[in-house]
């Protein structure tokens, strides 16, 4: 069993699975890890205690049995229930493995426990979806190209243009304020080859949309977008063969990948022109509310809210993206995953707001109705996330429908319709973007 213990409870005989040394703001240059070390003598113990250990994970199976009388505060240490750290959750760089079973729509209803509700203040978009979609496609395409160059420059120590990043963030913020669903729908389109760059843009879009809904000020939203765009800049210092390794990472490789949080912080801090909030988002986005994250194992009370927010959207985008070593999880499944960990790893109110922002079936999702009809979600109905506006693209017999018709929220009731599951567009040869531009008939 692996248990996390405070530094002062380290004893002779304990086997250190992993320890993170001081990662405080002042001494981040000295960040390092200790792995697989047996504390085999009092001298070794003294040496380790002299280091400023922030996070200590002990493997009790590999630890030697020590004499009870030699253990200071032994009873207290044994009686104190240490949090169990599951290997799959603690050390996998982005997120744990997808869970085997995908939830059905009926189970989703229980999971999300979302009742029909009326918003006190209707959030009417300033610009129609179709109009904003055209603009947001250009915004995203230009941002991906420039972010790639910016991150690559950062990797080789070149001075990268933060003004360009700010310009893209500003355009994205404006687009989300006009109609958030347009840019959000484009986060469903993921580039397999350019994961780090597309991921950075997707996390930016999702973070901006969530920050806005959580009530952060416009100025704060700008900084959050900027921090989100640069949150993984430290990955540029990790060898690509580790980042994109197909198959399971070794312990050492995971430790190497985890250093990206420190590298990112270091890179941003060195520049001198990056807001501290953005620096800390790079540093803290893999921390968890319960202290089981990295690099410091900080708990929620020590974390910047902006970092917790970026953690939520980072995990969501990582889960829903296909990588060389895993398929992408579908959105309802990924949201179930987040919801199950909301209290422990994030903040429940942030996760709930995030679900409200993107919808259980986000714009662009392919869904199946109880009638067998297939459709594409065109617009989130935030009064009832299970009843979005859907463009019908296939009839119950699996035949494509030429001119898509739209199922409106009221139709669910009158036609006894319900969404039964999320479907992979590749199962039907559907190009989602072709359907989102407009020209559908409301039924």
> What does the binding site for Fe ion look like in residue numbers (CB under 5 A)?
232
Q: Which two tokens stand for residue 153?
A: 């420059």
Nearest approach, Cβ of 231 to Fe ion (angstroms)? Answer: 6
Distance CA 173, CA 222 (A): 7
Nearest approach, Cβ of 93 to Fe ion (angstroms)? Answer: 7
Query: In which region does residue 395 sit, left (phi positive, over 0), alpha (psi from -120 to 50) or beta (all else)?
Result: beta
- In the bound state with Fe ion, the residue whose beta carbon lies nearer, of 180 and 260, is 260
- In the bound state with Fe ion, the residue whose beta carbon lies nearer, of 198 and 365, is 198
Nearest approach, Cβ of 244 to Fe ion (angstroms)? Answer: 14
Nearest approach, Cβ of 165 to Fe ion (angstroms)? Answer: 17
**DSSP label at residue 385:** T
Is beta strand 400-407 parallel, antiparallel or unpaired with respect to 389-394?
antiparallel
- In the bound state with Fe ion, the residue whose beta carbon lies nearer, of 179 and 202, is 202
Nearest approach, Cβ of 318 to Fe ion (angstroms)? Answer: 8
**Whole-angstrom Cα Rg for the chain:** 24
Nearest approach, Cβ of 109 to Fe ion (angstroms)? Answer: 32
The four Cα atoms 332, 346, 198, 335 give a dihedral, to 10 degrees, of 0
- In the bound state with Fe ion, the residue whose beta carbon lies nearer, of 210 and 380, is 210
- In the bound state with Fe ion, the residue whose beta carbon lies nearer, of 245 and 411, is 245
Distance CA 390, CA 303 (A): 39
Nearest approach, Cβ of 311 to Fe ion (angstroms)? Answer: 9
Q: How far apart are the first and last CA of the chain?
A: 58
- In the bound state with Fe ion, the residue whose beta carbon lies nearer, of 232 and 356, is 232
C-beta neighbour count of 418 within 10 angstroms: 15
Peptide bond into 295 cis (omega under 30): yes
Question: In which element (H, E) is residue 369 found?
Answer: strand 366-369
Nearest approach, Cβ of 45 to Fe ion (angstroms)? Answer: 33
- In the bound state with Fe ion, the residue whose beta carbon lies nearer, of 222 and 232, is 232
Distance CA 419, CA 153 (A): 46
- In the bound state with Fe ion, the residue whose beta carbon lies nearer, of 232 and 345, is 232
C-beta neighbour count of 97 within 10 angstroms: 12
Locate all alpha helices (DSSP H) within 21-104, ordered by sequence. 42-50, 74-79, 87-90
Contacts (Cβ under 8 Å, ≥6 apart) of 379 = 129, 181, 363, 388, 389
Contacts (Cβ under 8 Å, ≥6 apart) of 148 = 194, 197
Nearest approach, Cβ of 163 to Fe ion (angstroms)? Answer: 24
Distance CA 119, CA 209 (A): 18
Q: Which residue is nearest to Fe ion (CB)?
A: 232
- In the bound state with Fe ion, the residue whose beta carbon lies nearer, of 4 and 231, is 231
């Amino acid at each position: 069993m692996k248990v996390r213990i405070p530094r002062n409870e380290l004893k002779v005989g304990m086997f250190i699975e992993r320890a993170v040394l001081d990662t405080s703001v002042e001494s981040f240059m000295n960040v390092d890890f200790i792995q697989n070390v047996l504390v085999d003598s009092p001298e070794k113990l003294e040496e380790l205690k002299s280091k400023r250990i922030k996070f200590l994970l002990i493997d009790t199976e590999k630890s030697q049995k020590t004499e009870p009388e030699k253990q200071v505060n032994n009873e207290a240490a044994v009686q104190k229930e240490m949090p169990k750290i599951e290997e799959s959750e603690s050390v996998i760089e982005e997120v744990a493995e997808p869970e085997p079973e995908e939830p059905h729509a009926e189970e989703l209803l229980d999971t999300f426990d979302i009742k029909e509700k009326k918003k006190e203040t209707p959030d009417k978009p300033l610009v129609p979806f179709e109009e904003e979609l055209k603009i947001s496609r250009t915004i995203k395409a230009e941002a991906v190209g420039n972010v790639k160059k910016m991150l690559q420059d950062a990797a080789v120590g070149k001075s990268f243009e933060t003004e360009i990043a700010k310009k893209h963030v500003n355009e994205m913020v404006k687009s989300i304020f006009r109609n958030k669903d347009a840019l959000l729908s484009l986060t469903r389109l993921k580039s397999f080859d350019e994961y780090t760059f597309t991921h950075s843009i997707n996390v930016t879009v999702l973070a901006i949309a969530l920050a806005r809904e959580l009530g952060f000020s416009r100025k704060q939203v700008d900084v959050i977008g900027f921090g989100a765009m640069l949150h993984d800049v430290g990955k540029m210092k990790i060898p690509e063969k580790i980042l994109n390794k197909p198959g399971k990472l070794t312990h050492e490789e995971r430790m190497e990948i985890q250093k990206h949080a420190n590298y990112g912080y270091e890179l941003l801090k060195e520049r001198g022109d990056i807001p501290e909030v953005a620096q800390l988002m790079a540093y803290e986005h893999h921390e968890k509310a319960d202290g089981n994250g990295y690099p410091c194992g900080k708990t929620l009370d020590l974390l910047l809210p902006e970092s917790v927010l970026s953690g939520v959207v980072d995990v969501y985008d990582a889960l829903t993206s296909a990588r060389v070593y895993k398929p992408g999880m579908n959105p309802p499944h990924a949201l179930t995953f987040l919801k199950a960990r909301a209290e422990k790893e994030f903040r429940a109110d942030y996760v709930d707001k995030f679900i409200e922002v993107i919808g259980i079936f986000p714009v662009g999702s392919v869904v199946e109705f109880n009638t067998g009809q297939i459709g594409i979600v065109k617009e989130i109905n935030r009064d009832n996330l299970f009843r979005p506006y859907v463009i019908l693209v296939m009839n119950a017999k699996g035949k494509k429908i030429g001119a898509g018709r739209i199922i409106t929220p009221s139709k669910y009731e009158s036609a006894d319709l319900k969404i039964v599951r999320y479907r992979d567009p590749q199962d039907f040869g559907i190009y989602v973007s072709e359907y989102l531009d407009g020209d559908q008939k409301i039924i």
